[in-house]
Structure 1
Amino acid sequence: MNPARITLVTLGVADVARAVAFYEALGWKKSADSVESTAFMIGVGIVLALWNRDDMIADGGEGYLPRGSGSMALAVNFDSPEAVDAFYADAVAAGARPVKPPSKVFWGGHSGNFRDLDGHLWEVAHNPFWRLDEDGQLSLN
């Protein structure tokens, strides 16, 4: 059996071009495989798909879905509190809505939250108890 893994996360967005500009400002690279209604943004070890929200909902067959419900969060981990603060500032400068500015948290790390242009919740964190490999990938045992 192959190990469970996520290779693609798809976010429903109101305006694909606007979402592309936002994620490019945060370091994602737009793939040449992108099309008008769906952009594939290349990150380290994962691809983020930005799909026209109405098309995504229609394809999923569930009808109306609430925008940015907060029942899920995407996370980016960094190797220092300073890197967390810098990424958070870049996200806000690119148009993200601040939710919780980065600060020391009860479990001993440093984290904050923002919502992207379409209301998707992101956490940015430094966990001093976790190791990131040379590519910035989380290494858990």
Structure 2
Amino acid sequence: MELTLELAEKILASQPFSVLLGTRVTTFGDGAATLELDIRPDLLQQNGFVHGGVLSYAADNAITFAGGAALGPAVLTGGFTISYLRPAVGRLLRAQAKVAHAGGRQATCTCELSTLDENGEATLCAIAQGTVIAQRG
């Protein structure tokens, strides 16, 4: 099965939670993936920042898509960590993940999460690292 942006879009569209959030995959391939979602009032916490759960979701999914770009589409997150660097505010959340190392059934990936303001200026708000594992057939 050829791994393409179109296939990644179909996989993302099959995830009800991703559809609920309005997530888009904007780049995919060569061991990398970028997911984006519009920042809406219902995704914020009480101080007006993007909720940490939304940032974690974006990191988890971007890492898994990047790992899938290297290992194939049948993958799962094995685990990940995230560090919140600053409050996430803006109009768009972007999660850019790439494979740092891939073996036969496992890939270690990194992810940078940034928000974009009205002028398109990006601010790094979190970083994550995770392990993606290929499912056995």
More strand by share: 2
* Superposed pair shares fold, TM > 0.5: no
Bigger Rg, which one: 1
More helix by share: 2
TM-score by length of 2: 0.32
